[in-house]
Amino acid sequence: MTTMKCPRCSSEKIMPNLQIRDRAESLLFDEDLEVVVDSKPSAVFFKGTHYEALRATVCGECGYVSLSVKNPKALWNAYSQKKDDKD
Ligand SMILES: [Zn+2]
């Protein structure tokens, strides 16, 4: 793995792929914070919802945070299937 540098302060104290948890939820579930894409947003049921867990990369020096998802291609697939389905 290559050494990562903070884009803000150039520190190498980078902590990649940290889990982001909702505190209240995590008392009951080991749940990730997620981004959501509905491929059929106008449907009442079966919206074709795709969830993708958020991961944070945090600088241990200045606190810079960048977010990414585990599986961007799956999310993009759901997003690109998005239709204005009016039925
Ligand atoms: Zn930094």
pLDDT tens by residue, 28-78:
667 788 888 988 888 888 888 899 999 999 999 999 999 999 899 999 998
Does 6 reside within a domain?
Answer: no
- Asked whether the beta carbons of 29 and 9 are under 8 A apart, the reply is no
Q: Please tell me the pTM assigned to this model.
A: 0.71
Residue 16 and residue 31: Cα distance in Å, rounded?
18
Give residue 11's pLDDT. 97
Does 65 reside within a domain?
Answer: yes
Does 76 reside within a domain?
Answer: yes
Does 1 reside within a domain?
Answer: no
pLDDT digits (tens, 9 = 90+) for 59-69: 999 999 999 99
Give residue 65's pLDDT. 97
CB-CB neighbours of 84 under 10 Å: 7
Residue type, 13: K
Domain residues for 38? 14-80
The alpha carbon of 7 and the centre of ligand 1 are apart by a number of angstroms equal to: 7
The alpha carbon of 67 and the centre of ligand 1 are apart by a number of angstroms equal to: 14
Number of H helices, E strands in the chain: 2, 4
Does 86 reside within a domain?
Answer: no
